[in-house]
């Protein structure tokens, strides 16, 4: 709609003031400068402007300065879509993770994004809620908008997902899981060994009746691998399991079930620190002292675990290093067609105050 104003004017014939409507011309909208505008202002071809934007090192100094001056004067902002058309590169990769609620994924993504940016790559993150069909759909969406590579969590994926990779041949790396025999490169840790490391620590402390609290096993190969590692451990103790959601609330609910169980447990091993902290709060709310009445162990080594009261014994998973290594491997695969080898990252036992010797519990 055009702007309208009203002006008072004196009509001499009628000898009175009247009000007339005046329609103003709308101000012209400023057109955003494009490659052709820059080329015209600099007196060069569009192809030369494109080279300045994408490969400035190959452009002569005087030409480079002319084009850069025109870009500054016209306030030209390169369009990512246009640059992709000219260079054939979108320069972004997609990461598919189950959730952003868990701090372990936040730490992984922060390291991944930081390292990718050093290679001039951007990151787009999609969450799957551990649903394989959702993962396949979102992976296709990322590919459709030009993702040059994918980072995925875990080794279990749908047929649709594998068909997408086969059809597009897009570089894809599996994280949070190590399996040297997987057709795709895996960069992560041995989940069986990680769980056994935590269990062995409790065994070394003399615990023989251990309750394992874990998240849902449906579509979660990391949890299944950890449980498999625990069941394969060579010891003569008793092992019980409790499944719950991976949250503080889920841990607290698991603690209530453990307390109500008539069978006494020496120690509780949680397959994630988030659940372990929930168990800690839940036990404390029931009047159960950690570690005086029962030892408690987690797995992840979240920052909050070190400042809990008592501080949480756990296994450190190298998720930041995993993000960095995955970023380096994917960037080289994309830029130089160097398909990476699978890489196993070592976990580390972190001994704190929530787990003590069983003899100390009995005193």
Note the pLDDT tens digit of each residue in 252-267.
999 999 999 877 899 9
pTM of the model: 0.79
pLDDT tens profile 149-160: 999 999 999 999
Q: What is the CATH number of the domain that holds 73?
A: 1.10.260.40
pLDDT digits (tens, 9 = 90+) for 302-320: 999 999 999 999 999 999 9
| CATH at 343 | 3.40.50.2300
Q: Has residue 21 been placed in a domain?
A: no
Whether 125 is in a domain gets the answer yes
**pLDDT band at 88; cut points 50, 70, 90:** low
* Secondary structure, 3-state, the chain: CCCEEEEEEEECCCCEEEEEEEECCCCCCCCCCCHHHHHHHHCCCHHHHHHHHHCHHHCCHHHHHHHHHHHHHCCCCCCHHHHHHHHCCCCEEEEEECCCCCHHHHHHHHHHHHHHHHCCCEEEEEECCCCHHHHHHHHHHHHHCCCCCEEEECCCCCHHHHHHHHHHCCCEEEECCCCCCCCCCEEECCHHHHHHHHHHHHHHCCCCEEEEEECCCCCCHHHHHHHHHHHCCCCCCEEEEEECCCCHHHHHHHHHHHHHCCCCCCEEEECCHHHHHHHHHHHHHCCCCCCCCCEEECCECCHHHHHCCCCCEEEECCHHHHHHHHHHHHHHHHHHCCCCCCEECCCEEECCCCCCCHHHHHC
Do both 159 and 211 map to the same domain? no
> Is the same domain home to 101 and 202?
no
Give the pLDDT of residue 83. 61
Q: Are residues 258 and 353 in the same domain?
A: yes
pLDDT band with cut points at 50, 70 and 90 for residue 30: low
Q: What is the mean pLDDT of residues 203-216?
A: 96
Same domain for 231 and 357, yes or no, is yes
Quote the number of domains for the chain.
3
pLDDT single digits (tens) 288-307: 999 999 999 999 999 999 99
**Residue 342 and residue 353 share a domain:** no
Residue 3 lies in a domain: no
Look at residue 263 in the predicted model and tell me its pLDDT. Answer: 77
Are residue 199 and residue 312 in the same domain, yes or no?
yes
Full residue range of the structural domain in which residue 342 is found: 92-189+319-347
Least confident of 79-88, 100-109, 228-237: 79-88
């Amino acid at each position: 709609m055009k702007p309208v104003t009203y002006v008072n004017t004196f009509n001499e014939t009628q000898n009175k003031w009247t009000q007339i409507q005046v329609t103003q011309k709308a101000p012209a909208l400023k057109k955003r400068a494009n490659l052709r505008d820059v080329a015209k202002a600099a007196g060069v071809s569009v192809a030369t402007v494109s080279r300045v934007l994408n490969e400035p090192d190959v452009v002569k100094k005087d030409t480079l300065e002319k084009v850069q001056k025109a870009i500054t004067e016209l306030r030209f902002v390169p369009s990512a879509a246009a640059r992709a058309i000219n260079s054939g590169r979108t320069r972004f990769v997609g990461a598919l993770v189950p959730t952003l609620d868990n701090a372990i994924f936040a730490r992984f993504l922060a390291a991944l994004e930081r390292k990718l940016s050093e290679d001039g790559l951007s990151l787009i993150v999609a969450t799957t809620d551990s649903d394989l069909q959702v993962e396949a759909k979102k992976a296709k969406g990322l590919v459709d908008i030009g993702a040059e590579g994918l980072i995925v969590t875990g080794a279990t994926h749908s047929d649709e997902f594998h068909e997408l990779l086969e059809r597009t041949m897009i570089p894809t790396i599996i994280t949070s899981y190590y399996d040297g025999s997987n057709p795709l490169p895996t960069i992560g840790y041995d989940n069986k060994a990680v769980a056994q490391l935590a269990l062995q620590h409790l065994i070394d402390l003399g615990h023989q009746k251990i309750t394992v609290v874990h998240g849902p096993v449906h579509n979660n190969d990391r949890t299944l691998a950890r449980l498999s590692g625990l069941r394969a451990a060579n010891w003569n103790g008793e092992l019980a399991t409790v499944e719950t959601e991976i949250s503080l609330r889920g841990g607290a609910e698991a603690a209530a079930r453990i307390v109500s169980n008539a069978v006494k447990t020496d120690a509780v091993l949680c397959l994630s620190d988030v659940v372990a902290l929930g168990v800690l709060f839940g036990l404390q709310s029931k009047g159960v002292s950690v570690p005086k009445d029962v030892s408690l162990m987690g797995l992840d080594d979240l920052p909050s675990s070190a400042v809990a009261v008592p501080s949480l014994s756990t296994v450190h998973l190298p998720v930041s290093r995993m993000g960095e290594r995955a970023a380096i491997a994917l960037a080289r695969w994309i830029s130089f067609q160097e398909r990476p080898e699978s890489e196993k990252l070592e976990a580390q036992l972190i001994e704190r105050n929530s787990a003590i010797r069983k003899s100390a519990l009995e005193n």
